[in-house]
A and B are shown apart, each in its own frame.
Chain A
């Protein structure tokens, strides 16, 4: 492998009829910062390449350049208007392996280029599955739901990868992934098999990135970039998949029209049924929508059918695996403060946590930490809210 085989970071852009999804701009921002450091460290000139598929989308190429892309590969075609997994997977894979595109990006590596070095997808309804199928097609590795990225030269000793010998892997992407508990960070690497017995290149090193984690860079109208138009080859069979209808829906659980949100976590576990009733009461006093943490959507308690189907549902999850909310008042009841949850509520204006454990991580993320058991604390809150309401009415 020479340094020209695998180059650049390709960022897969998502948009809805020309409106760019926030996560795509966030990925561009992170790709820009990462490659600036990379090029400085390795005295290189590798690029941030935005891959844009759709119909009537030429205009947004400029926006992508302003947000950090050096080049935009734009496939503008009626067949690409909406995402169909097979059609998109093949088009993206063609783009990732296309030497002519690579030549336009960087003529000096025209001959060697094989594939991108890195590839980013959004960890959402569309990007998550696309990342999986594209990487299955390109036969390389993928880490999902990443919230931190580091490029490093790593010394690896691994039975399969290196045949047990220490070898240095240069320019390796460390992909950090918080696990389901929110307490552990797993670093995943995508490495070539350099063991002669199992030799194989695994590029690009790809990941899907959690929305809301990385900062968008300030758009710069002066930034220059290359726009490369690309016409994908379609297979007739794939076009038989027809999108008949698309209906815009509002989630049944509406957080945006409520000024307050009351959320609960595993802390309700001692008396789940009663505690959830209390939380319900508190929420109704301040007209709050009710949210939960991710572990609760796995229905860890046996509660009545009604409570279960009303509250312990994915639609109510706040955090990286659910909704992002920013109400005036956020009350976190029995929530320890795993980072996935924090990411979904940290922009709330006034945050109150109710928790018996003063060392819980949530303490660093709230304005008021009420130390105590929810069974004891919530009734006092409810009484005081009612008293103050009466005072206003009187």
Chain B
């Protein structure tokens, strides 16, 4: 009898960038007050990857987030997507102002508060607001777990307690590589945006439906599955969290000055057919020149 897989996902509440929900200031910057917050799109993919482990191996799923109390409804949404068994919200004013390192400290402590030892922890590729992509790997490092980024596919062998992952590595200016790696569990996976789970067999599709049904029931009573931890309860080192634990500060924010014009644009009226005819001719000329590489 093999132990069931124990899987965690860390997710983030982010501004909803979809049209109609996102609001920009006249200067092109994000209007945070007017923009709704949702489960971040990369977080959502991480949740999907965890659900795959549930369908395939009956994994137990715990989902955690550091955020304000309002993040609860996001956790409910994540539960609906994954049939999560437990939800964790790490919420405290003391966490505020944290940079990635101090955030990773809270998430590490939070994951250690989840039930049982984790076999796999998933995170998104990056947040769509902060966009650093650092929090996942830093959390992994603090947990002492092997980290894999850009993971596009994975398969677990529950008997040998090993995992095979495929990652897409872009070597800019050279080529892209798909790497296949084998490693002993536990591992931490930052899932690639292109990840898509495949449910190929009949039994997987049946399991998929079963868990989906369970997920919709559970998420209606999501509070039952939720545990909230504050800074004291999480038992992290107060010196390593929040502003105190953050090596970096934001010193200033400014508008990026318009660069010097690199080209002298000829401005033409979009209704002027004669002008457009000339532009098309120039374009064709450019296109017809030989390419010598």
Q: Chain A: residues with CB nearer than 8 A to chain B?
A: 14, 16, 19, 21-23, 82, 84-86, 89, 124-126, 128-129, 131-133, 135-137, 139-145, 154, 156, 158-161, 174, 178-191, 193, 198, 200, 202, 211, 238, 240-251, 259-260, 269, 272, 286, 295, 297-302, 313-315, 324, 328-329, 336, 339, 342, 346, 349-354, 356, 358, 361, 363-373, 376-377, 380-381, 384-385, 387-388
Binds A, one of B2-10, B61-69, B96-104, B219-227: B96-104
Size range of the interface on B?
35 or more
19 contacts between A and B (CB under 8 A): A129-B137, A131-B134, A132-B100, A132-B133, A133-B141, A144-B131, A144-B133, A191-B247, A198-B239, A211-B172, A240-B184, A244-B180, A248-B176, A313-B194, A315-B194, A328-B289, A329-B283, A353-B265, A376-B270
**Nearest CB of chain A from residue B37's CB, rounded to whole Å:** 14
Instruction: Check B277 for interface membership: any CB of A closer than 8 A.
Output: yes
Mark interface residues in B262-293 (1 if CB within 8 Å of A CB, else 0): 11111111110100110111111011010100
Binding site for A on B (CB under 8 A): 17-19, 22, 24, 27-30, 41, 99-101, 104, 128-129, 131-138, 140-142, 146-150, 164, 168-184, 190, 193-194, 239, 243-244, 246-256, 258-271, 273, 276-277, 279-284, 286-287, 289, 291
Partner of A141, one of B149, B171, B173, B247: B247
Query: In whole angstroms, how far apart are the Cα atoms of A41 and B264 in the complex?
Result: 37
Using Cβ atoms and an 8 Å threshold, which residues of chain A touch B30? Answer: 180-181
B291 / chain A contacts, CB cutoff of 8 Å? 259, 328
Given contacts A132-B133, A133-B141, A159-B243, contact A364 B270 (CB under 8 A): no
- Tell me whether A346 and B262 are in contact (CB under 8 A): yes
With the chains together, A251 CA to B178 CA distance in Å? 11
Chain B residues within an 8 Å CB radius of A384? 273, 276-277, 280
The chain A residue sitting closest to B138, CB to CB, is A136
Are A136 and B101 in contact (CB-based, < 8 A)?
Answer: yes
A302 engages B18 (CB within 8 Å) = yes
Cα distance, A295 to B28, chains bound together (Å): 12
Distance between Cα atoms of A361 and B260 in the complex (Å): 10
Expressed in whole angstroms, the Cα–Cα distance for A236 and B203 within the complex equals 39
A21 near B172 with CB under 8 A, answer yes
Report Cα–Cα, A373/B270, bound state, in Å: 8
A137-B141, A141-B101 as given contacts; A189 in contact with B255, CB under 8 Å: no
Complex interface: chain A residues within 8 A of B270 (CB): 354, 356, 370-373, 376-377, 380
Q: Tell whether, in the assembled complex, residue B248 and residue A300 are in contact, meaning their CB atoms are under 8 Å apart.
A: no
With beta carbons under 8 angstroms apart, the residue of B179, B281, B286 that contacts A328 is B286
Q: Is the CB of A299 within 8 A of B41?
A: yes
With a CB–CB cut-off of 8 A, which chain A residues contact B136? 132
Q: Give every chain B residue within 8 A of A353 (Cβ-Cβ).
A: 265
Kindly list chain A residues whose C-beta atoms are within 8 Å of the C-beta of B277.
Answer: 384, 387-388
Q: Are A86 and B266 in contact (CB under 8 A)?
A: no
State how many angstroms separate the Cβ of B119 from the closest Cβ of chain A: 15
B249: which of A131, A158, A179 is its contact (CB, 8 Å)? A158
* A363/B265 in contact, CB under 8 A: yes
Q: Which residue of A lies closest to B135 (CB)?
A: A132
The CA-CA distance from A48 to B266 in the complex, in Å, is 44
Give CA–CA (A377, B272) in the complex, Å. Answer: 9
Q: Which residues of B contact A339 (CB under 8 A)?
A: 256, 259
Min CB–CB distance A234 → chain B (angstroms): 14
B18–chain A nearest beta-carbon distance, Å = 5
Instruction: Tell me, in angstroms, the Cα distance from A246 to B169 when the chains sit together.
Output: 10
Within the complex, what minimum Cβ distance (angstroms) separates B272 from chain A? 9
A191 to B172, CA, bound (A): 32
In the bound complex, residues from chain A placing their C-beta under 8 Å from that of B129 are 180
> Which residues on the A side are within 8 Å of B99 (C-beta)?
141
A364 CB contacts on chain B under 8 angstroms: 258-263, 265
Across the interface, do B258 and A380 meet the contact criterion of CB distance under 8 Å?
A: no
Chain A residue numbers with a CB within 8 Å of B252 are 186-187
Nearest-neighbour CB distance to chain A for B224, whole angstroms, equals 33
Instruction: Tell me whether A358 and B267 are in contact in the complex, defined as CB-CB below 8 angstroms, given that A131-B134, A178-B256, A246-B177 are known contacts.
Output: yes
Contacts of A249 in B (CB 8 A): 168, 175-178
Which residue of chain B has its CB nearest to the CB of A380?
A: B276
Which residues on the A side are within 8 Å of B138 (C-beta)?
A: 132-133, 135-136
CB neighbours (8 Å) of A124 from chain B are: 170-172
Within the complex, which residue of A141, A179, A245 is in contact with B246, where a contact is CB–CB below 8 Å? Answer: A141
Q: Which residues of A contact B168 (CB under 8 A)?
A: 125, 249
Whether the Cβ atoms of B276 and A370 lie closer than 8 Å is yes
* CB pair A295 B17 closer than 8 Å: yes
Contact between A365 and B279, CB atoms less than 8 A apart: no
B175, A368: Cβ atoms closer than 8 Å: no
CB closest chain-A residue, reference B171: A16
When distances are taken between beta carbons in the complex, the residues of chain B under 8 Å from A141 are 99, 101, 246-248
Neighbouring A residues of B268 by C-beta, 8 Å: 368-371
**Bound complex: CA A286 to CA B280 (Å):** 10
- Nearest A-chain residue to B194, judged by Cβ: A314
Q: Is the CB of B132 within 8 A of A144?
A: yes
Chain B nearest Cβ from A209, distance in angstroms? 12
Contact between B250 and A246, CB atoms less than 8 A apart: no
> Given A180-B128, A328-B291, is A388 in contact with B284 using a C-beta cutoff of 8 Å?
yes
CB distance from B222 to the nearest CB of A (A): 26
Residues of B within 8 A of A247 (CB): 177-178, 180
Q: How far is the CA of A286 from the CA of B132 in the complex (A)?
A: 37
Bound state CA distance, A281 and B279, in angstroms? 18
Cα distance, A238 to B183, chains bound together (Å): 9
Pair A198/B244 contact, Cβ less than 8 Å = yes
Q: Is the CB of B146 within 8 A of A86?
A: yes
Check A370–B279 contact: CB distance below 8 A. yes
Q: For A286, what are the chain B residues with a Cβ–Cβ distance below 8 Å?
A: 283, 287
Task: Name A23's contact: one of B128, B172, B267, B286 (CB within 8 Å).
Answer: B172
Which residues of chain B have C-beta atoms less than 8 A from A363's C-beta?
Answer: 261, 265, 267
Bound-complex Cα distance A240 to B186 (A): 12
A160 CB → nearest B CB, Å: 5
Contact A183:B28 (CB < 8 A) given known A244-B164, A246-B178, A298-B17: yes
List the A side residues contacting B243 at CB < 8 Å: 159-160
- Known contacts A191-B249, A202-B247; decide if A248 and B283 are in contact (CB<8 Å): no
